[in-house]
Amino acid sequence: MSAEGSAASPAEPAGGPGPCLTCGACCAYSAEWPRFSTETDEELDRIPSNLVHDSLGRMRAEGDRCAALAGAIGDAVACTIYEVRPHVCRACQPGDEDCLTARARHRLAPLPPF
């Protein structure tokens, strides 16, 4: 979940890499996630077609891991489509309930809310 460009985000604060760049648990939690729900057709068209599971209305998965995730969970990860990632991915925030659930599944320590 790498933040591209020079602007800092909760995933990559101005002081350096944030927890999302060493975690990735939310992107490797379920083969059923992320699902598309509020994206426009134009937004979906920007996601590379080889990463979209058309018949199920979600991202393709490799096991429980989103096919757009690169790197090792808990070590160093990046979203290969960060700039065009689905809305549900944008909504997940470091330390929120979804984050904590995913981190627990991968036996990673909980994060405080940002």
Query: Tokens 């059923």 identify what position?
Result: 32
Apex CA 99: angle with CA 98 and CA 105, to 5°?
Answer: 90
pLDDT value of position 64: 95
pLDDT in the model for residue 33: 84
How does strand 69-72 pair with strand 61-62? unpaired
Which sequence spans correspond to the domains of the chain?
A: 19-105
Q: What is the pTM of this model?
A: 0.80
Read off the pLDDT of residues 60-102 as tens digits, 9 standing for 90 and up: 999 999 999 999 999 999 999 999 999 999 998 899 999 999 9
Q: Which residue in 57, 109, 80 sits closest to 4, CA to CA?
A: 80
pLDDT value, residue 54: 87
